Structure 1
Amino acid sequence: MDIIRKPILLIGLLVLPGLLLAQEHSMLEGRADSLYEKHEEEQALELYEQILTKSPENFEALWRGSFLYSRLGNRQEGKDRQKEYYNKAIDLAEQALAVDSTHTQSNFVMSVAMGRKALISGAREKVSASRAIKKYADRAIEYDSTNAGAWHVLGRWHFKVANLSWLERAAANTLFGGIPDASNEKAAEYIQKAITLDEDYVLYYFDLARAYRELDKEVQAIETCQKAIELPVLVPGDMEIKQQCKELIEDL
């Protein structure tokens, strides 16, 4: 009997550490996901970074980490610091695409990261990135038409391209022989689609109101801003966007 028990005991001693590590990893993922859902972004990102140290191809940690770097980068002081965050967001998005290029989230977070970086880039870089941003947003929607964030990115893309400055248009004409087709009408349509799918994000309403303003739909712009102001604060930065909505109403 002892002869039988010793191999079993030995196997147990060998397997147990692996089981404990797997359990610890699962608990870490659970805590990270919980913080992510509660919009406690810095703490969630810290845990996702820990997960990636141990499991560099963890898809959930890759795309969520990328998205968090984009969101947190938007609140950093100075363009150099912001660029650091956006470059990290792009790097993690590339890794997520390497793991699964046909998943809506890997494409979505790449469109977000590139879009954020384009906002703080020069005219040439901004125009150069515009086609890739749309490509990834389109793919995200192709793989999941209920991805509200991707619809918002696509709408925001139309808004930005439709309202390029003369310098950016000149860069587009020089480098690419023109600019992609874009319109404020499409911007409003796609951002409204994002709101239909997820009505809780203040940013969606503010961007929709800006599209309405460009379309000379002042009443709709004001009503949209008022809805945004009434929404609960979900993420850091919402209060600032609400203030921008109030300023837009005053301007109109």
Structure 2
Amino acid sequence: MLSALAFLWPAKKLSEQSVEKKANQIQSIVETSDNLFDNGHFEECYQILKSSSEKDIEIYWRICRVMYNMSKEVKYDVEYRKLLVMDAYKLISEHLQDNYDRYEVHKWYALLLDAKSAYEGTKERIKQLENVRKHMDLAVTLNPTDATTLHMLGEWCFQVTELPWHQRKIAEVLFASPPYSTYEDALEYFMRAETAQPRFYSLNLLRLGTCYLKLNKEDQAKYYLKLAASYPAKSNDDHRANKEASELLKKIK
């Protein structure tokens, strides 16, 4: 009996070493890709993640994240940007049910569902509004202090508030109770995002300024618009925030 146990011991040790080695490899890939992503090097980040042989949700949701961000780069043609969105949506959908307790999965599923439906037309995007909101709510329930998820909920409220008349009519046809929100709702989420992680995102600063402007609170609007206008530009979103904030500031007396 003792000899049998002695025989099994090395196998167990080897198994533990294998698990530890895999975890270390994943951690190394995650750290390298996150650093590239945070500095706006999306293509390099994408290549590192795609070339990994590790089958792990930490890799998968990061692939979806970088593909989504690449899909917003104007240097790519429309068809390639659409392909990035569709492929990323397919990937995150495949891993949704098995990772229902992961806020990152719900977050990127919500964003990619919205992006995918936008390519499929106004009616489809409006049709998916409630489903997008559902997964954003699940993400923020699982992680109440994630700034980007809070920003996403603010953006959802902002976009619903800004729906043009003809799109509201489509929503009335599709839903018994059409999605509804206000600038106050949007502002609350944008402020919660800013509190969770101050100045983490240029567009959050822009939206804070815009909401305050919509609510006729010019002093607060100026404060956040100035921050957005001077935000260090590393991505297309940052350049957009710089430009839109500067234009809005010119309109304020």
Same fold (TM over 0.5): yes
The CA deviation at 1:132 is 1.3
Deviations along 1:204-251, one digit per CA (max 9) or x if unpaired, are: 111222222332333322221101223333445412321111012123
TM-score, with normalisation over the residues of structure 1?
0.81
The CA deviation at 1:70 is 1.2
d(CA) in 2 for partners of 1:217, 1:89: 39
Does the 8 Å CA contact 2:206/2:241 hold for their aligned counterparts? yes
Match of 1:3 in 2: none
d(CA) in 2 for partners of 1:87, 1:97: 15
Name the count of aligned residue pairs. Answer: 234
> In 2 relative to 1, CA 59–233 (structure 1 residues): closer, same or farther, beyond 3 Å?
same
d(CA) in 1 for partners of 2:93, 2:79: 21
Match of 2:64 in 1: 66
Q: Which amino acid aligns with 2:39?
A: K
> In 2 relative to 1, CA 218–115 (structure 1 residues): closer, same or farther, beyond 3 Å?
farther
Does the 8 Å CA contact 1:123/1:167 hold for their aligned counterparts? no
Match of 2:3 in 1: none
CA-atom RMSD in angstroms: 2.7
Does the 8 Å CA contact 1:201/1:234 hold for their aligned counterparts? no
Q: How does 1:125-136 map to 2 (within 5 A)?
A: 125-136=124-135
Give 5+ residue unaligned stretches, structure 1: 1-10
Q: How does 1:1-252 map to 2 (within 5 A)?
A: 25-26=25-26, 27-51=28-52, 54-56=53-55, 58-76=56-74, 77=76, 79-198=78-197, 199-252=199-252
Percent identity between matched residues is 22
Does the 8 Å CA contact 1:111/1:153 hold for their aligned counterparts? no
SS state of the match for residue 213, structure 1?
helix
d(CA) in 1 for partners of 2:180, 2:201: 27
TM-score, with normalisation over the residues of structure 2?
0.81
SS state of the match for residue 116, structure 1?
helix
d(CA) in 1 for partners of 2:150, 2:64: 18
d(CA) in 2 for partners of 1:116, 1:221: 28
> In 2 relative to 1, CA 209–78 (structure 1 residues): closer, same or farther, beyond 3 Å?
farther
> In 2 relative to 1, CA 34–123 (structure 1 residues): closer, same or farther, beyond 3 Å?
closer
> In 2 relative to 1, CA 33–222 (structure 1 residues): closer, same or farther, beyond 3 Å?
closer
Q: Which amino acid aligns with 1:173?
A: E
Q: Which amino acid aligns with 1:74?
A: K
Give 5+ residue unaligned stretches, structure 2: 1-10
